[in-house]
Structure 1
Amino acid sequence: MSQPIPPIVLPPLENVEVEANWLRQNLHQWLNEEFLPEAINETIAYRASQIFIRHRLEGENDLGSLVIAIVTEMQSFDFQKSFYSEFAIANAVSDLILKSLGIDTCCGNN
């Protein structure tokens, strides 16, 4: 029988500005590199980082819960001028966070 994947709990938030800027910049870069650089990418990265940080400030450190929060709140974002969706954004945030923790995102191995 397969084993459940243990939750990934982030360390407590220490520096709001540093973490918000790191996520915004790295997500923006990822968005521009994944398809074409678009002006909307900056807005998407900013909005996703705001959601992520707000939930972190509220004490949420479980990465899975943070991803669900991004999907849920980004549903109200207008993606008509973008190649992306709320799911792609949440998955990209998850991958960026996992990579920053040294976790391989390919196959779920450390």
Structure 2
Amino acid sequence: MTQPIPAVTLPPSPDLEAEVTWLQTALGVWLDQEYLPELVNQAIAARAAQVYFRQRIEGEHDLGSIVIAIVTEMQMFDFSRSFYSEFAIANAVSDLLMQRLGIDTCCGQT
């Protein structure tokens, strides 16, 4: 019988603004490296970081809930000049945050 993947709860951030800056920078780098560096990538990273910030400031610590919020809110972003979609962005944010916590994003192990 398979085991469900446990939820990932993010620890409280001692410096949320620094964490958001890190996320925006890391996501921008990831976007530029994954396909092609494009100006729109920085706008995507800024918007995703803004959603993340608001979720955390409102007290959300469940990574799954944050991912859903990013998917939902990024649906309003114009991806017509990008190779990405709201799902790719939310998944990338999740991977970056889990890697920062030391969680293997491939297999869910520390």
Q: Distance in 1 between matches of 2:101 and 2:16?
A: 17
Structure 1 residue 4 displacement after superposition? 1.3
> How far apart are the structure 1 equivalents of 2:104 and 2:12?
21
Q: Which whole-Å CA distance do the structure 2 matches of 1:15 and 1:109 have between them?
A: 26
Task: Please say if 1:81 is aligned against 2:87.
Answer: no
1:9-51, CA deviations, whole angstroms, 9 ceiling, x for partnerless residues? 0011321210110000000000000000000000000000000
**TM-score of the two chains, using structure 2 as the length reference:** 0.97
What is the match of residue 52 of structure 1?
52
After the TM superposition, which residues 1-110 of structure 1 pair with which residues of structure 2 at under 5 Å, given as runs? 1-110=1-110
Which segment drifts farther, 5-14 or 55-64?
A: 5-14
Q: How many residues are treated as equivalent by the alignment?
A: 110
User: Structure 2, unaligned stretches of length 5 or more?
Assistant: none
Q: Distance in 1 between matches of 2:17 and 2:52?
A: 12
Percent sequence identity is 63
What amino acid sits opposite 2:95 in the alignment? D
Q: Deviations over 1:90-110 (max 9, x none)?
A: 000000001001111112222
Q: Distance in 2 between matches of 1:17 and 1:81?
A: 28
Question: Which residue type is aligned with residue 90 of structure 2?
Answer: A
Matched residues in 2 for 1:16 and 1:101: separation? 15
- For residue 15 of structure 1, what is the amino acid of its counterpart? D
The answer for unaligned runs of 5 or more in structure 1 is none
Segments of 4+ moved more than 2 angstroms: none
Structure 1 CA distance for aligned equivalents of residues 51 and 61 of structure 2? 13
Name the aligned partner's letter for residue 70 of structure 1: I
CA distance in 2, matches of 1:5, 1:59: 23
